[in-house]
């Protein structure tokens, strides 16, 4: 089936909102000749406090739309969506599907104190996928988890430097500091947008880890294995389209150079603002 897919077809990237832009940035750096369609399900964000069934329904709806636009692969650029929906998505669709997972393994390897912290959504921390990660890679280390309720909403609004956002970050980081964590996993794709604030709170001695770069390398590997890499001769740089449910369910389906924005002006403004931070 993969042989029938055009190598210059886009890669679909989906997230509950703008958080997956942190992954898209890595994708465009690692795969400079690929096309991307980014879908922000902002009207339904955050996913972290929704049921697995609801998240699966949204993921299937978005996957169908991206595949209709010719996507040759999908990246589920959301830890919560990956935990809830990656298995049924892979069972249902034949194309390559890449997911996210909190970087427990590299964090455990990097820690010198043997204490690692994980900042994530409630949905991610309560998932079977996260439990499996701890079972496989959590031996020999103490893992301190912290659900960051309300943080995604602040980032979705572009309130990165807002007093409330900073207060939440201090509240959520403090238990990890108190526990002696020297390595902290950013277990949600939204969190790298406030990475500088987190680093300031926890101090320079603490290492922060996210998985965007690893996902980009994994996508490149799978596309190469499937003979789906877009040849370097095709274009000089990426193209990416941006679609959002923040304003309308049926967004424009054109793919134009970074970025085609479909959604409310507020969503467009926030998206452009966050992209510049990366």
Cα separation, 253 vs 205, in Å, equals 45
DSSP reduced 3-state for 263: coil
Tokens 């309720």 correspond to 149
Instruction: Pick the closest to residue 216 from 66, 29, 11, 1 (CA basis).
Output: 29
Catalytic site residue from 59, 78, 154, 173? 78
140 is in an annotated binding site: no
DSSP-derived secondary structure for 54-122:
HHHHHHHHHHHHHHHTT-SEEEE--HHHHHHHHHHHHHH--S-EE-----HHHHHHH-SSSEEEEEE-H
178 is in an annotated binding site: no
92 is in an annotated binding site: no
Tokens 């890499």 correspond to 229
79 is in an annotated binding site: yes
230 is in an annotated binding site: no
Q: Is residue 173 annotated as part of the catalytic site, yes or no? A: no
Catalytic site residue from 148, 154, 173, 188? 188
48 is in an annotated binding site: yes
Q: Is residue 59 annotated as part of the catalytic site, yes or no? A: no
Helix ranges, 138-277 (H): 151-156, 163-179, 195-202, 212-225, 265-277
Sequence-separated (6 or more) residues with CB below 8 Å from residue 12: 36, 37, 39, 62, 63, 66, 67, 69, 71, 73, 74, 75
Cα separation, 242 vs 12, in Å, equals 10
Binding-site residues for substrate sit at: 15-16, 47-48, 79-80, 189-190
Give me the active site residues, please: 78, 188
List, as residue ranges, the binding site.
Answer: 15-16, 47-48, 79-80, 189-190
């Amino acid at each position: 089936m993969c042989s029938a897919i055009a190598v210059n077809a886009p890669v679909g990237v989906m997230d509950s909102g703008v958080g997956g832009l942190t992954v898209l940035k890595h994708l465009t750096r690692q795969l400079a000749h690929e096309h991307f369609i980014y879908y922000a399900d902002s009207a339904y964000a955050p996913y972290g406090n929704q049921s697995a069934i609801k998240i699966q329904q949204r993921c299937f709806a978005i996957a169908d739309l991206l595949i209709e636009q010719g996507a040759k692969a999908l990246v589920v650029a959301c830890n919560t969506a990956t935990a809830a929906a990656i298995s049924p998505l892979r069972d249902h669709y034949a194309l390559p599907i890449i997911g996210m997972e909190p970087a427990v393994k590299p964090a455990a390897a990097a820690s010198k104190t043997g204490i690692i912290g994980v900042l994530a959504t409630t949905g991610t921390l309560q998932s079977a996928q996260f439990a499996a990660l701890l079972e496989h890679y959590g031996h020999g280390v103490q893992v301190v988890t912290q659900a960051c309720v309300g943080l995604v909403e602040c980032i979705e609004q572009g309130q990165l430097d807002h007093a409330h956002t900073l207060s939440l970050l201090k509240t959520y980081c403090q238990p990890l500091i108190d526990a002696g964590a020297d390595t902290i996993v950013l277990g949600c794709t939204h969190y790298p947008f406030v990475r500088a604030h987190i680093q300031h709170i926890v101090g320079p001695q603490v290492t922060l880890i996210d998985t965007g770069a690893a996902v980009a390398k994994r996508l490149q590997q799978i596309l190469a294995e499937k003979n789906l890499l877009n040849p370097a001769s095709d274009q000089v740089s990426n193209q990416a389209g941006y679609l959002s449910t923040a304003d309308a369910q049926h967004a424009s389906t054109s793919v134009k150079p970074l970025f085609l924005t479909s959604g409310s002006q507020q969503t467009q403004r926030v998206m452009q603002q966050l992209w510049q931070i990366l």
